[in-house]
Amino acid sequence: MDKILGVWVSDPTDDGGMAALGHATLNFYDNGLLDYTLHRPDRDQVMLLTFRIEGCYLITNQPSAPHEERTAFTITDDGKLTLSFGGVLSRYIREFPTTP
């Protein structure tokens, strides 16, 4: 789990992910919490989630509306986080190695 901890932001060179999801920030905490923020033109949309890792899957849950989601993930050789969810691939670069 340590390899995913910290703050990740959308990779600006990821045209497909940016087109599908827009700019996002993911903040993974060592206590199993995840702040997932979609940056919209008029306001940010923040989702407060829990997470755990099972093999190559990121398992998330939103306590306010409990339902687990499984997202395949990898950390590439050049250190980028790649998520595959619902047929959409998105890529993120590490902004901070640990949560601020």
What's the domain range around 33?
2-95
Total structural domains within the chain: 1
Confirm whether 51 is domain-assigned.
Answer: yes
Q: At 61, which CATH number?
A: 2.40.128.280
Contacts of 46 (CB under 8 A, 6+ apart): 35, 36, 37
pTM of the entire predicted model:
0.90
Instruction: Tell me, yes or no, whether 100 lies in a domain.
Output: no
Residue 9 in contact with residue 21, Cβ under 8 Å?
no
Domain assignment present for 65: yes
- Give pLDDT tens digits along the chain (100 positions): 788 999 999 999 999 999 998 999 999 999 999 999 999 999 999 999 999 999 999 999 999 889 999 999 999 999 999 999 988 999 999 997 765 5
